[in-house]
Amino acid sequence: MMFAAFETEKLYHQRQARYLTAMGNGTPDRIPIRFFLQEVAARMTGYTTQQVACDYNLAFEATRRAGEMLGCDSVMLNAIWSTYPVAKAASWRYLYVPGVDVAMDSVLQFGEPAKPEDVFLQLDEYEEFIDDPTAFLVNKWMARAATRVAKAGASVTFDHNAALWGGALAYANYMSAFGPAAAKLKYESGIMSANAGMIKAPFDLLCDKFRGFINAAIDTVDRPDTVLKACEALIPHIVANALAGADPDKQVPITLWAHRGGVPFISHETFDRIMWPTLRPVFEEIISKGYQILFYGEGNWEAHYDTLRTLPAGSIIYHLDRGDPALAAKKLKDRFAISGGLSYDVLARGTQEDVRRHMKELFAVLKPGGGYILDATALMLNDVKPDNLHAAVTYTLEHGVYSQSCPAPERGKAQPQTILPGKRAPGIVRPWEVEKQGYKQLAGDVDAVKNAWQRADAAIYNYLWTTVLW
């Protein structure tokens, strides 16, 4: 694909250099503007939240156009607010869509099982899950997470088949649409994609999609060793999924949505005993392969800044949600780039003058020395005022310029981790050794047959685990 015009190509390369330099903790020509636009993009482009939730092509287009209108250097195209076609085709029970499950003026929401019997991983199933997480997804989890999928051993129904086929095909359609949307963002608008691939901390994933937060929190007290083993069992699958969706050029980071480790969700003891020992290997394995991680620290992570500092220099971009920007700068900027810090409350409820006053304070501590990327503290929903975003952009263009650029320093390295694959290795649902037993005549180029099967099987695996991570 070709750039729409020479000026678009020139603009893209300027923005690319600016964003990459800042993420590497260098000093670009000015502070890059990278907004994680969600429902506010619909508001800016004349769509309802229901429309963008139900049509991911509209969501892609809304994000692109809003990025253009604001003059962003980078935007997050793969947002989570447009998954209705996949979710409803698969009959996910935990996703609530505006104008479908919640009010029209609401935003996309996620829920947890309301009753103990609806928990996706029952207390007495921990060992089964630890032994083979992928088999657990197939045998039990899918039927609990989806309303129309029948449990193992139950009668296969029309709705069961439709949910399995429809969910997988809807997911494939979504992924097929993403590539052209990303190309349009680059070649027509000259805007960089902000990230590629995603991970969650093993403990976060256990909370979000298996035990529910309350149950998992109780488990950390009653059976911490079991929780630790369950989180360890998730590590190889989280790493495999992240690398499968990562930028092949290793320019843009893999995003970690880290929401249970911040204050006040878990104790320091749980963080030190379970959360960090199972998250750090994920970090180090991904970093060892040359990728950066955008650490979206949801909530207040100030208590863990010293722990984050033990990661290789330049290996993460720390996204500031809650907490004091001055403290984040003091504790982290000598090792990592920082993004965020632009108060969501000010953007949603303040005036343009409030924005300018707030940004003056923010830039005073986060601008010096480079390594800062402008963004809001949280994903931008439909209550953010577009005029306030424009004010933030204008202020950055006026006051975010550096007198002298400085390239990013060399990133620190991490050693590859010994991550045990478990009973069923990541990337595999139905092993080739099992699959080939059903072949009547296996001859000729057996490797070609094997490779074809393994590619198909990997696609099934990717669908299963992406469903869990979404």
The DSSP code sequence of 49-73 is HHHHHH-HHHHHHHHHHHHHHHT-S
Percent of the chain at pLDDT > 70 equals 100
In this structure, are residues 414 and 315 in contact, taking their beta carbons and an 8 Å threshold?
A: yes
Question: What are the structural domain ranges in the chain?
Answer: 6-469
Question: Tens digits of per-residue pLDDT, 16-45?
Answer: 999 999 999 999 999 999 999 999 999 999
Question: Tens digits of per-residue pLDDT, 272-317?
Answer: 999 999 999 999 999 999 999 999 999 999 999 999 999 999 999 9
Q: Looking at the predicted structure, is the pLDDT value of residue 113 above 80?
A: no
pLDDT value, residue 19: 98
Task: Provide φ and ψ at 128, rounded to 5°.
Answer: -60, -45
Beta strands in 223-371 (DSSP E): 254-258, 293-300, 316-322, 337-340
DSSP letter, residue 318: E
Q: Looking at the predicted structure, is the pLDDT value of residue 418 above 90?
A: no
Q: Looking at the predicted structure, is the pLDDT value of residue 353 above 80?
A: yes
Name the residue with higher pLDDT: 337 or 109: 337
Question: Tens digits of per-residue pLDDT, 373-410?
Answer: 999 999 999 999 999 999 999 999 999 999 999 999 99
Q: How many CB atoms lie within 10 A of CB 445?
A: 8
pLDDT value, residue 97: 86
Helix 56-70 to helix 386-399 angle (10° resolution) is: 40
pLDDT value, residue 126: 98
Q: How confident is residue 417, by pLDDT bands cut at 50, 70 and 90?
A: confident
Q: Looking at the predicted structure, is the pLDDT value of residue 263 above 80?
A: no
Alpha-carbon distances of 371 from 20, 181, 468, rounded to whole Å: 10, 28, 33
Cis preceding linkage at 264, omega within 30 = yes
Percent of the chain at pLDDT > 90 equals 84
Q: Closest by alpha carbon to 370, among 57, 25, 70?
A: 25
For strand 95-96 and strand 109-110, is the pairing parallel, antiparallel, or unpaired?
Answer: antiparallel
Q: Looking at the predicted structure, is the pLDDT value of residue 234 above 90?
A: yes
The domain defined by 6-469 folds into TIM Barrel (3.20.20)
Q: How confident is residue 265, by pLDDT bands cut at 50, 70 and 90?
A: confident
> How large is the average pLDDT for residues 433-437?
94
Pinpoint the alpha helices (H) of 71-117: 84-90
In this structure, are residues 203 and 280 in contact, taking their beta carbons and an 8 Å threshold?
A: no
pLDDT value, residue 1: 84
In what order do the strands lie in the sheet containing 316-322? 198-199, 254-258, 293-300, 316-322, 337-340, 372-373
**How many angstroms separate the CA atoms of 321 and 331, rounded?**
15
The average confidence (pLDDT) of the chain is 94
